[in-house]
Structure 1
Amino acid sequence: MATLTEVSGIARKTIKYGSVAVVLIILFPVFSRIAKTIYLRLNPPPPEPPTVTFGKLPKLIFPPTSAGNTPEYKLETIEGTLPRLPVVGRAYVVGINKSRLLELDRIKNKILPLGFVSEPEQLDEVTYRFYHPEIPAEVVVNIVSRGFAYKYDWTSNSEITGTKTVPSGNSAVTEAKGWFQNLGLLPDDLAAGTGEFTYLAATGSAMVPIDSVYEANFVRVDLFRADKDEQKIVTAGGDTSPVSVIISSAGDNKRTVQANYQYSQVLENSFATYPLKIVDKAWEELQGGGGYIAKRTIPVVIIRKVYLAYYESNDPQEFLQPVFVFEGDGGFMGYVQAVDSGFVQE
């Protein structure tokens, strides 16, 4: 028969080892998750096979460029090499209006707040020009793309050319977004996106960029879509956008002197996945004169950054597709279509 001392010792050991067991049971899931995370980082699972739902995709629409010598490229990224990038990417369907029925009436209602009340002049099957009845302004609209270009002739207005009190910085971006919102033309991805501003000075009948807001007669604001799938949406202009507005120092209907709106809706739930080129192949294409140069200011380009983004064309496109973006010194931006060539139409 166990003595009281022996029973007490057994009880203490039971409590001790029982406590250890409870702690281990509690910590086991935590250690298990940490171990799994480390393993997956070292051994990531292969991506799901591409769905290729839409068949071969069309070639991207890049603006025509003037013939010239291919730049000399040098790669000097932070890593010292090309980065490792995904080998599968998404292509989204873009909603394109194919019906012209009642579209002109819808556009009339959109531009009515700008004071355009007269009937338009038809330029071709899909393009119309409206003239403002009170000021030297016009707007050209496309009833298929639903895009428009607004222009006010500011050259004879001394109030504009003689004053330099344009909105600055973020105030200009906010005003630009408000202008489109008043027309019912500020979708969520533009509202949540960024805006870039450029100060301009009047020189004769032209506008030239200028650094100081205090010397500016105008400020141009370019609105960019918010990132998609944690990737930027880049444009044909590089640092300019198909959605932009130029604001003056004047008020009322002379405040905005120019605006462009070329916007296509991306269908969020209508996408397919496609195999992408390896980044080395895209780099070879760029060096060989392939792809598209959105911005170039110097003959020898040092590439500092390479990444994947989505490309937004100035023209209507069927799909929002990924591109490799090469950024370099002097503001250089070059794009190469990212979808593997075997899945792109000839």
Structure 2
Amino acid sequence: MLTLSQATSLTKRIAKWSAIIALSIILLIIFVRVGKTLKEIIAPTPPPPPTVSFGKLPAIEFPNNSFPQKITYTIDTVTGALPKLPDRANVFKMGEPNPDLLALKKAEQKVTGEGFSQPAIRISGNTYQWTDSKSPILRKLNIDIFTLDFTVSSSFLSNQAVTLGTNLPNPDNAKGVAQSFLSNMSFLYEDLNLEKTKTNLLSIKNSNLQPATSISTAQIIEVDFFQKDVDKMPILYSKNNSSTMNIFVGGGENQAQVVKSEFFHQTISSQSSTYPIKTASDAFLQLRRGEAYILSSQKDEDVSVRNIYLGYFMANKKQDFLMPIIVLEGDNGFVAYVSAVKDEWINK
């Protein structure tokens, strides 16, 4: 039988070795973690390859370049070098409208909220036309009852109140007119970023719309809506400061009114897959070879590229995927797009 002194001595030895073992385990864990950290610094583990779940993708259908000038490009970024872009980006599947036997009735309920109360006339396929019989400019709305894309036309070019700019609002109020127009028909979609809404001042010359220099010379205000960023990257369109969702606001005898519209909106689904993308150097080389889509005319023969970043391209017609692009910006409003997904993953 242990004496009290023996029991005390045994207890001290057990406590000592328990402390040594516990400390050894803690130190071992620390050494393993430090080792892993050093290993990742010296030789980082490569990320898993892009998932490419959609297989080869269709090529982005940029509009034809209308500015074939021969331009010399140089790099003039803040750092003096091209930025390092990520090696991959998400490609998103676009949403598809669901077949609906009540589509015509639902569309009719939407458009009557904005005064298009005359019975619908079928124009072709899924497109129907409604008329605003009380409008002095004879507004007509054509809408695809499944996609809900629409256009508005009218005789505004020959309307005296419009051509004189009577009750033409300022740009901020024109935004409100356009938003109310969409809201009344339940077309003010949740994926729109209203803070990005832009306006363009237009005048009427020889029955055509052209840019106006100031609000005092404007007769029409174009309001363009833009979708929210995706993966912290902007959605971009084929024209500078414009989108595929525009409302044209003019004056009127009593108040401002929507006189014209071309509204094409596609929903982006949550289904996505990563794809390998080109480097900034690849994009700059394509630009120099004339293989980029250039958005604006360029009077200068020399362009300094000052900014390069990633975005997503939204066309003005149906597309199956939302795909990334590399944007190159330069002096005097120069903007060019290059498809970002590597060529081996694009169907030619």
Question: Counterparts of 1:169-318 in structure 2 under 5 Å?
Answer: 169-250=171-252, 255-267=257-269, 269-300=270-301, 301-318=303-320
Whether the aligned pair in 1 keeps the contact of 2:166 and 2:253 (CA below 8 Å) is: no
- What one-letter code is carried by the residue in structure 1 that aligns with 2:160? S
SS of the residue 1:198 aligns to:
strand
Q: Take 2:249 and 2:217, find their aligned partners in 1: how far apart are those partners?
A: 14
Q: Please report how far the alpha carbon of residue 279 of structure 1 lies from its aligned counterpart in structure 2 after TM superposition.
A: 1.8
Structure 1 residue 333, shift from structure 2 partner: 1.5
The alpha-carbon distance between structure 1 residues 42 and 248, as it changes in their structure 2 partners (threshold 3 A), is farther
Structure 2 equivalent of residue 27 of structure 1: none
Q: Any idea what SS the aligned residue of 2:129 has?
A: strand
Give the Cα–Cα distance (whole angstroms) in 2 for the partners of residues 169 and 67 of structure 1. Answer: 30
Give the SS at the match of 1:246.
strand
Does structure 2 conserve the Cα–Cα contact (< 8 Å) formed by 1:165 and 1:216?
no
Native 8 Å contact 1:172 1:221 kept in 2: yes
- In the alignment, which residue of structure 2 is the partner of 1:18? none
Question: Counterpart in 2 of 1:107?
Answer: 107
Does the CA-based 8 Å contact 2:171-2:221 persist in structure 1? no
Unpaired segments of 5 or more residues in structure 2? 1-32
Deviations 1:147-170 (A, max 9, x none): 111122112322222235533343
Question: Residue 203 of structure 1: CA displacement?
Answer: 2.5
1:258 CA drift (Å): 1.1
- Does structure 2 retain, via aligned residues, the 8 Å contact 1:73–1:287? yes
Under a length normalisation based on structure 2, what TM-score does the superposition of the two structures give? 0.80
Give the distance between the partners of 1:98 and 1:290, measured in 2 at CA: 37
Unaligned residue ranges in structure 1 (runs of 5+): 1-31
Q: Deviation digits for residues 223-244 of structure 1, max 9, x if unmatched?
A: 1112222111111113211111
Give the match's secondary structure for 1:304.
strand
Q: Provide, for residues 1-49 of structure 1, a one-character-per-residue CA deviation record: whole Å limited to 9, x for no partner.
A: xxxxxxxxxxxxxxxxxxxxxxxxxxxxxxx9xxx8x998999764442
Q: Give the C-alpha shift of residue 102 in structure 1.
A: 3.6
Secondary structure of 1:174's match?
helix
Q: Distance in 2 between matches of 1:130 and 1:255?
A: 17
Whole-Å separation in 2 of the counterparts to 1:143 and 1:74: 48
Quickly say closer, same or farther: Cα 1:87–1:304, change in 2 above 3 A.
same
Q: How far off is 1:131 after superposition?
A: 3.4
Q: What is the deviation of 1:184?
A: 0.7
Alpha-carbon distance between aligned partners in 2 of 1:183 and 1:342, rounded to the nearest angstrom = 43
- Percentage identity across paired residues of the two chains: 27
Shift of 1:92: 1.0
- Name the CA distance, whole Å, in 2 between partners of 1:234 and 1:160: 31
- The normalised TM-score by structure 1 is 0.80
Larger Rg: 2
